Amino acid sequence: MPAPEPSRWWVIVLALAGGYLTRISFPDPGWSVLAPVGVALLFLALLRDSARWNALVGFVWGLAFFVPLITWAGRPWAWSRGSR
């Protein structure tokens, strides 16, 4: 008898956690050992069902990874061409 599939909410939580763990593996704070854990959580989240649902899960993972990573974009000095 196969194990029951996790609920869709649990899958979204896995994707959010995986994306954020992958984000904090980048510089500042730079905990690089968490990158494989974050990608493994994405893999576990993608085991649920259809390709359409998995596209949504990947999008949620990407948002949890990318949005905190681009916090520098709002700083005025981030866009300057050189030191002034």
Q: How confident is residue 73, by pLDDT bands cut at 50, 70 and 90?
A: low
Task: Check pLDDT > 80 for residue 77.
Answer: no
Angle, alpha carbons 6-41-56 (nearest 5°): 70
Residues 38, 47: Cα–Cα separation, whole Å: 15
Token pair 């085991």 in the structure block, residue: 47
Task: Check pLDDT > 70 for residue 83.
Answer: no
How much is the pTM? Answer: 0.78
- Give tens-digit pLDDT for 2-55: 777 778 899 999 999 999 999 999 887 889 999 999 999 999 999 877 899 999
- pLDDT score for 20: 95
